[in-house]
Structure 1
Amino acid sequence: MVDIATRVWNHKWKIDPIVRSLIDTDFYKLLMCQSIYRNKPDTQVTFSLINRSKHVPLAHLIDEGELREQLDHVRSLSLSRGESTWLRGNTFYGKRQMFTSDFMEWFEGLRLPAYHLERKGDQYELTFEGKWHEVMLWEIPALAILMELRGRAVLDQMGKFELQVLYARGMTRVWEKIEKLRELPDLSIADFGTRRRHSYLWQDWCVQAMREGLGDKFTGTSNCKIAMNREVEAIGTNAHELPMVYAALAPDDAALAQAPYDVLQDWQDEHEGNLRIILPDTYGTQGFLDKAPDWLAGWTGIRIDSGDPATAANVAIDWWKSRGEDPRDKRVIFSDGLDVTKIQELQAQFAGKTNISFGWGTLLTNDFRGLVPDDALAPFSLVCKAVKANGQPTVKLSDNPKKAMGPASEIARYKRVFGVGEQDEQDVVV
């Protein structure tokens, strides 16, 4: 096991790049990438970095030269033979050869496209433009780089013994959380913490701790590189990116209203079983389910990623019942801003009503809150989203208006088309 504190103290960043592989990314990105490669290969998309936590001045904390060096390193990466063999030959979600030969041939030859970086005040403007299936793979590396460089800026000011104590406290905190979670009956939980992790080494340590502390209750990690190295399941399905881009491509309001279902029709043509998980909140969960075609009720489950999680779960349960489905045969995956207390509450509330899983993210892999002066290592809300598709702006409404994004006029149009009225605001934890 790596001595993280000593590694940080030695400051050997040249031999310790933040992103060390093209599969140091979330599994759902690769699943979506293949779907896009097949269904929308000519779509041009722009991704942009969005720092929701304006109080964190990234351009003051992170040296531009070091940021460029890390981004340039990612552009030099390509799949290794071992990584390609793992993707081609491994069994994912019970299916062999999840990734097709034509997709893998393309992926094996990929180098990530150019980026645009500019300092704007105390923040960075970082954008990626090009074919959707190429630029989308920048999202997770970009977020991981910014998060870790911010952390390194804080750690660089600390002494050797301070670092040892910091990581000892951080490890103790993670283990205490695990001890509480393993008391929960029928727990099913995975690591979803790649995008806003403290560091690769820390995420890797957290995965090892979860596996040892939780046993079969730990179902895997979203991080492909760690899944491969640690021989655990790679976990993930799809994300808001798909309906956001499909919707932006819609030529009129009627096509816009249909776009979220077109996404899932394409997905259903490729995947079955536990990969058929609905993410309904992009344009409002209630409206999405009310208008959903009957075939979607046959899908395996739903992932909840915004708004009040208990409310959304009850909406899903009622919807399944209204479509003649037994919620006890379905799965609800909670994945928004989770920590131990919320996991305990949701597990107790929905036990016996439906099958429950948890995707535990930032507060697993980046919880150093209160452990350094001024809380300088506290996690913050940083995202990298598709903001344009073929020149048209993308929109996300969410079940939490604080997570909405897009031009005000387009947000108003989408609310009209999807019948979204007043929404309750929820604090964005991360």
Structure 2
Amino acid sequence: MVDIATRVHNHKWKIDPIVRSLIDTDFYKLLMCQSVFHNRPDVQVTFSLLNRTKSIRLADLIDEGELREQLDHVRSLRLSRGESTWLRGNMFYGKRQMFRPDFMEWFENLQLPPYHLEKRDGQYELTFEGSWPEVMLWEIPALSILMELRGRAVLQDMDRFELQILYARGMTKLWEKVEGLREIDGLRIADFGTRRRHSFLWQDWCVQAMLEGLGNKFVGTSNCLIAMRREVEAIGTNAHELPMVYAALADTDAELANAPYQVLADWHAEHDGNLRIILPDTYGTDGFLANAPDWLAGWTGIRIDSGDPIEGGEAAIKWWASRGEDPKQKLIIFSDGLDVDKIAELSTHFAGRAKVSFGWGTLLTNDFRGLTPNDALAPFSLVCKAVSANGRPTVKLSDNPNKAMGPTDQIDRYKRVFGVGGQTAYDVVV
């Protein structure tokens, strides 16, 4: 077991770069990247960092030179032979050769494109531009670097003893959560915490704790590098990025309305089984389900990632039943702002009515709330999103207007096209 406190105390060691591999990323990024590589390889995109928690002034906390050093290090990374062998030969979701030879050849020769960094009003403006398959792979490393550098800034003045106590308390806090999860019958839970983790070493420790504490209730991790090293399942399907870019490329309102379904038609052609998971909330779940083609009802399940999760799950069950499907045979994955109490509540509510699984993110891998003065290590909401495609702005509406993004005039247009009216706003936990 790694002595995390000692490593943090000596975090300048070259052994501890923040991102240490191109597969230190979420599995769904690689699945989506392959889909983009085959379907929309020439689309030019811009990704941009957005700190939703304005009170965390990252540019005041994080040294620009250190940030550039970490970003430059990521650009120096290439797939190792062992990583390539794992991706080419491992079984994912019951399927051999998930990643095709042409994609793997491209990935093995990939260098992430340049970045653009500026300071403005106490925040960093960090953007990435270029071809979609290349630029999209910056998202997770960029978030991981900013989150960990913020943590390092908070911890840099602590001595070794203080750090030992902090991490002992953090471990105790997580283990108490694990003990609470043990009591949930039929639990299926995965680690989704890469993008806003405290650090790589801490995420790796959290996965080990889940493995030991939950046994077969712990079904895997979204982090490819940890999945490979710990010999657990790599978990993930698709994200909002796909419909956001497809929608931005639409020329007419009719093409815009069809864009979320075109994304899934391309996905349907490439994947089967448990990879066929619908993410319906990009432009409002209600409208998506009302207008969805019948073939989507045959997919394995649905992921609820914004809005009221009980309402979202109930909407999914009602939709499946209306399309002649048995909801008890379908999978609902919850992944928004989860912690133990919410996981227990949702498990109880949907028990016997559908299969339920959980993607536990930031409050698994970065919950140091209450453990430092002024709560200086509390997690915050940082995202890196596609903001344009072929020069056109992207839009996300979500089932929570506090997660919406895009120019106001375009948000109004998308609401009209997708029939989104008044929405209930929810606090963005993380």
Equivalent-residue separation in structure 2 for 1:206 and 1:14 (angstroms):
23
TM-score if structure 1 supplies the norm length? 1.00
* Letter paired with 2:209: A
Summarize the alignment of residues 271-350 of structure 1 with structure 2, pairs less than 5 Å apart. 271-350=271-350
Equivalent-residue separation in structure 1 for 2:396 and 2:320 (angstroms):
25
The C-alpha deviation readout for 1:242-292, integer Å capped at 9, x for no partner, is: 000000000010000000000000000000000000000000001000000
Identity %: 79
Q: Which residue of 2 aligns with 1:32?
A: 32
SS at match of 1:388: strand
Q: Which residue of 1 aligns with 2:226?
A: 226
Equivalent-residue separation in structure 1 for 2:48 and 2:74 (angstroms):
17
SS at match of 2:220: strand
Q: Which residue of 1 aligns with 2:42?
A: 42
Aligned residues: CA RMSD: 0.5
* Letter paired with 1:415: K
The C-alpha deviation readout for 1:3-26, integer Å capped at 9, x for no partner, is: 000111123343210000000000
Shift, 1:157, TM fit:
1.3
Q: Which residue of 1 aligns with 2:364?
A: 364
Equivalent-residue separation in structure 1 for 2:160 and 2:104 (angstroms):
44
Summarize the alignment of residues 200-211 of structure 1 with structure 2, pairs less than 5 Å apart. 200-211=200-211
The C-alpha deviation readout for 1:14-71, integer Å capped at 9, x for no partner, is: 3210000000000000000000000001000000000000000000000000000000
Q: Which residue of 1 aligns with 2:168?
A: 168
Equivalent-residue separation in structure 2 for 1:257 and 1:376 (angstroms):
43
Equivalent-residue separation in structure 2 for 1:15 and 1:216 (angstroms):
32
SS at match of 1:358: strand
Summarize the alignment of residues 8-407 of structure 1 with structure 2, pairs less than 5 Å apart. 8-407=8-407
TM-score if structure 2 supplies the norm length? 1.00
Equivalent-residue separation in structure 1 for 2:41 and 2:3 (angstroms):
44
* Letter paired with 1:255: E
The C-alpha deviation readout for 1:344-399, integer Å capped at 9, x for no partner, is: 00000000010000000000000000100010000000000000000000000000
* Letter paired with 1:177: K
* Letter paired with 2:261: Y
Equivalent-residue separation in structure 2 for 1:399 and 1:91 (angstroms):
34
Shift, 1:121, TM fit:
1.9
* Letter paired with 1:85: T
Equivalent-residue separation in structure 1 for 2:226 and 2:266 (angstroms):
29
Gaps of 5+ in 2: none
Equivalent-residue separation in structure 1 for 2:10 and 2:210 (angstroms):
27
Equivalent-residue separation in structure 2 for 1:372 and 1:243 (angstroms):
39
The C-alpha deviation readout for 1:284-321, integer Å capped at 9, x for no partner, is: 00100000000000000000000000000000000000
Number of equivalent positions: 430
Equivalent-residue separation in structure 2 for 1:262 and 1:223 (angstroms):
27
Gaps of 5+ in 1: none
Equivalent-residue separation in structure 2 for 1:307 and 1:161 (angstroms):
42
Equivalent-residue separation in structure 2 for 1:337 and 1:93 (angstroms):
25
Equivalent-residue separation in structure 1 for 2:277 and 2:319 (angstroms):
15
Runs of 4+ in 1 over 3 A off after TM superposition: none
SS at match of 1:280: coil
Equivalent-residue separation in structure 2 for 1:329 and 1:13 (angstroms):
50
Q: Which residue of 2 aligns with 1:414?
A: 414
Equivalent-residue separation in structure 2 for 1:152 and 1:407 (angstroms):
34
The C-alpha deviation readout for 1:154-199, integer Å capped at 9, x for no partner, is: 1101111110000000000000000000111000000000000000
The C-alpha deviation readout for 1:83-106, integer Å capped at 9, x for no partner, is: 000000000000000000000000
